[in-house]
Amino acid sequence: MSDRIVSPSSLEQVVRTAWSSLADAANPSAPRSRFTMLSLATIGIDGGPRMRTVVLRGVDETAGAVVFYTDARSTKLAEIARDNRVALLACDSGAGIQIRLEGRAIVSLNDSVTKAHWDTARERSLIVYRTPLAPGVAIDSPEQGYVAMNEAHAPFDGYEHFSVVTVSVQAIDWLDLSPRGHERAVFRRDADAWKGQWIAP
Ligand SMILES: Cc1cc2nc3c(=O)[nH]c(=O)nc-3n(C[C@H](O)[C@H](O)[C@H](O)COP(=O)(O)O)c2cc1C
């Protein structure tokens, strides 16, 4: 027997909540969200799974897209160049909500998209791109890889290493394990709309 104390959500509400939660998480002025740090999965060059954390930097609900920044020299971009299927995982363990996204990654480099983000991003989000060292190269000590925050630099230093990755989301898997009642729904992008289906958690 169910101990549900509130009425169930509609699929429409669920997909809207998923997008608005992600939009809040991408907004640096909004209260801290556990959905800001996403796990990004790619297909490794050897065909094996690869995962890492990325910061959610933008959400476009209408386009069904999410954005993160990365170093143009990073391994993940080589993987995406070979196979652009990616998955993203967002989890708020306190609220009991997990959002899984699947889609195709589109990489922007030195174009109007990167320029718009570079001009509006906070300085501390861009500092990492100033390092001459490609991510993953061997160094003799950790200090060599450190980019000083207050070192003098020109406004475009590092821009050539800066890439914006837009993930065009094709599928969403929403899981709510909060005490209000366990709910799981999957959505597929179909002609610019989301087709949802309840499934067993
Ligand atoms: C809290 C946190 C946030 C991170 N955010 C990003 C990010 O937004 N973009 C990024 O490329 N790497 C980010 N990283 C580093 C990645 O997790 C990863 O170590 C790095 O990008 C190299 O990954 P790759 O070798 O698979 O390309 C972050 C790491 C941590 C711990």
pLDDT in tens, 19-58: 999 999 999 999 889 999 999 999 999 999 999 999 999 9
CA of 200 to the centre of ligand 1 (A): 33
Whole-angstrom distance, CA of residue 63 vs CA of residue 20: 14
Q: Is the CB of 65 under 6 A from ligand 1?
A: no
Q: Percent of the chain having pLDDT more than 70?
A: 95
Task: Give the structural domain span for 88.
Answer: 11-121+162-198
Whole-angstrom distance, CA of residue 116 vs CA of residue 120: 6
Look up the CATH number of the domain holding residue 85: 2.30.110.10
Of ligand 1's listed atoms, the one at least distance from the Cα of 136 is 25
CA of 38 to the centre of ligand 1 (A): 10
- Distant-in-sequence, close-in-space partners of 106: CB < 8 Å, separation ≥ 6: 84, 165, 166, 167, 168
Residue nearest to atom 25 of ligand 1 (CA): 75
Residue nearest to atom 5 of ligand 1 (CA): 54
Of ligand 1's listed atoms, the one at least distance from the Cα of 75 is 27
- Tens of pLDDT, residue by residue over 48-93, are 999 999 999 999 999 999 999 999 999 999 999 999 999 999 999 9
85 lies in some domain: yes
Banded pLDDT at 7 (limits 50, 70, 90): low
140 lies in some domain: no
99 lies in some domain: yes
Q: Which two tokens stand for residue 6?
A: 């509130």
Does residue 169 register a pLDDT over 60?
yes
Q: Which two tokens stand for residue 92?
A: 């708020």
83 lies in some domain: yes
29 lies in some domain: yes
191 lies in some domain: yes
**Structure confidence at residue 192 (pLDDT):** 92
Whole-angstrom distance, CA of residue 126 vs CA of residue 70: 10
Residue 106 exposed, middle or buried by CB count within 10 Å (0-12, 13-18, 19+): middle
